[in-house]
Structure 1
Amino acid sequence: MAQDGRIRQERAVATRAALIAAAAAEFDERGYLGASMDGVAERAGMTKGALYFHFRSKADTASAVIAEQDAISRRYAEVAATRSSSPLESLMWMTQGIASQMTREVVVRAGLRLAADPNAREIPRDHPYEHWVEHTADIIRRAIATGEVDPSWDPELIGRVVSPAVAGVQMVSDMLHDRADLYERLQELWTMLLSGIASERTRAEVPRLVAIIRPEAPDGA
């Protein structure tokens, strides 16, 4: 009996994940207003009954996509921290991860689109924006402590500027070039930002740092 219960639970988890992936594709392609529960069920190859068993409404489904997007982004940020030997390198790897998410992860694209969609204000959600502002500010605090960033800068100010700036670059790249130039545009953004905030000894390192933001092979090589 215990094994049967575990199997049912695993199936339920797998079904929910498949529905979130299908919902992400629906929202990414059609936006919040254009998406439908029928479309989500059809993409998932499931009945509407199965869909409504897991999600009460379109808003509830969209909320789950946003939550999964944030979870994916946090995992990428954790990986960025392990690849870095300094705070600013961590920030560059985090940005590289953002670009990889936007080009590879439909859940991330859909979650960010929903988060910025004025027609989706009814969606129940947490507010991950504040988390990323504070996360960036914390990295800058450490960069100041290690001498990478000029101590005259306010880490909270940089956090508040960086997060919407990166989001804006993503949005424009998506609208104008289907994200084909995303890495290049992010390199330009960080060249300007780092040139302004870097300490004197770190300024010569800016080209090396921004070069971290580049496409990687699918296997991460």
Structure 2
Amino acid sequence: MVKQARAEQTRKAILSAAADAFDRRGYDMTSLADIIAMAGVTKGALYFHFGSKSELAQAVVEVQHHTWMRIAESAAAPGNPALTSMIRLSHALAAQMATDPVIRGGIRLTLERGSFERGGTTPYLDWIAMTRELLDRAVEESDVKGGTDVTAVAHHIVGSFTGLQLLAHVLDERPKLNDAVTRMWQLLLPALVPTLRIRHFLDVAVKAQSQFSNRPV
């Protein structure tokens, strides 16, 4: 058990170091030697867990994707208003971008999906599908206008969030990502929500920003 626990700790250290390196330098500019040095492990230890840089990159993406989907599934649980869940989810993900190197590394690798073999589009397809499901529920709950093209809106929301996180990375403004997400909702909500519900959901966005900025997931 002790040996198994030590091996798992080593694997996590390698994943964290790799994610940090991929986030900072990108896939092509990161070497296994860089990751070994950052993780403080031997070459043999790295190859015991991961057979190649590509395999290691894929593992980072999978951890990031599973973490985000776990948060999304929790936020989208039946009983929670769908639009509120969507707004809170966006702020929870933004908070993780600011604090979790594995999340950041996984996101950059996904954007550079041509750099490794498989799974490049899956995270975004899953995210779009979940957003579309939440929008469908929000229409049923009368929080989003009837007749809304939920597929188009789901693509737009995921694209907007992706663009904001990329810009935050380029401008070194990740601590301000929750602010940008609130502004995104302030622009989108008036087009999506019946007039009498706009103020309520604008308040939801501001409260979610405050909560997740102060207490990241």
| Corresponding residue for residue 155 of structure 2 | 160
**Could you list the runs of 5+ residues in structure 1 that have no partner in the other structure?**
1-5
Counterpart for residue 42 of structure 2: 47
Q: Secondary structure at the match of 1:33?
A: coil
The CA deviation at 1:178 is 2.6
Does the CA-based 8 Å contact 2:92-2:216 persist in structure 1? Answer: no
Paired residues for 1:1-221 under 5 Å: 6-81=1-76, 85-117=80-112, 120-125=114-119, 127-211=122-206, 212-214=208-210, 215-218=212-215
> How many angstroms apart in 1 are the aligned matches of 2:3 and 2:175?
42
1:70 deviates by 0.7
Aligned to 1:3: none
CA distance in 1, matches of 2:139, 2:194: 8
RMSD of equivalent CA atoms? 2.1
CA offsets per residue over residues 39-88 of structure 1, 9 Å max, x none? 11111111011101111111111111100111221232244346x84111
Q: Which runs of 5+ in 2 are unaligned?
A: none
Relative to structure 1, the CA distance from residue 113 to residue 134 in structure 2 (aligned partners, 3 Å threshold; closer, same or farther) is same
SS at match of 1:216: helix
**What is the number of equivalent residue pairs in this alignment?**
214
Do 1:87 and 1:139's aligned partners in 2 also have CA atoms closer than 8 Å?
yes
Contact 1:96–1:183, Cα closer than 8 Å, also in 2: yes
Give the superposition deviation at 1:218: 4.1
Query: What CA deviation, in whole Å up to 9, does each residue of 1:182-217 have, x standing for no partner?
Result: 122111111111110112332232321221223433
Given the superposition, is the C-alpha separation of residues 79 and 213 from structure 1 closer, same or farther in structure 2, using an over 3 Å criterion?
farther
Partners of 2:172 and 2:19 in 1: CA distance? 21
Residue identity opposite 2:203 in structure 1 = R
| SS of the residue 2:27 aligns to | helix
Contact 1:21 1:107 in 2 (8 A): yes
Q: In structure 2, what is the Cα distance between the partners aligned to 1:95 and 1:177? A: 19
Q: How much does 1:7 deviate? A: 3.6
What secondary structure does 1:124 align onto? Answer: coil
CA distance in 2, matches of 1:69, 1:186: 20
Letter in 2 for 1:52: Y
Counterpart CA distance in 2 for 1:123 and 1:37 is: 17
User: Matched residues, percent identical?
Assistant: 30
Structure 1: distance between partners of 2:150 and 2:41: 48
**Partner amino acid for 1:38?**
A
Superposition misfits of 4+ residues, deviation over 6 angstroms: none
> 1:132 & 1:193 partners in 2: Cα distance?
18
Q: Distance in 1 between matches of 2:205 and 2:154?
A: 18
Classify 1:15/1:177 alpha carbon distance in 2 versus 1 (closer, same or farther; 3 Å).
closer
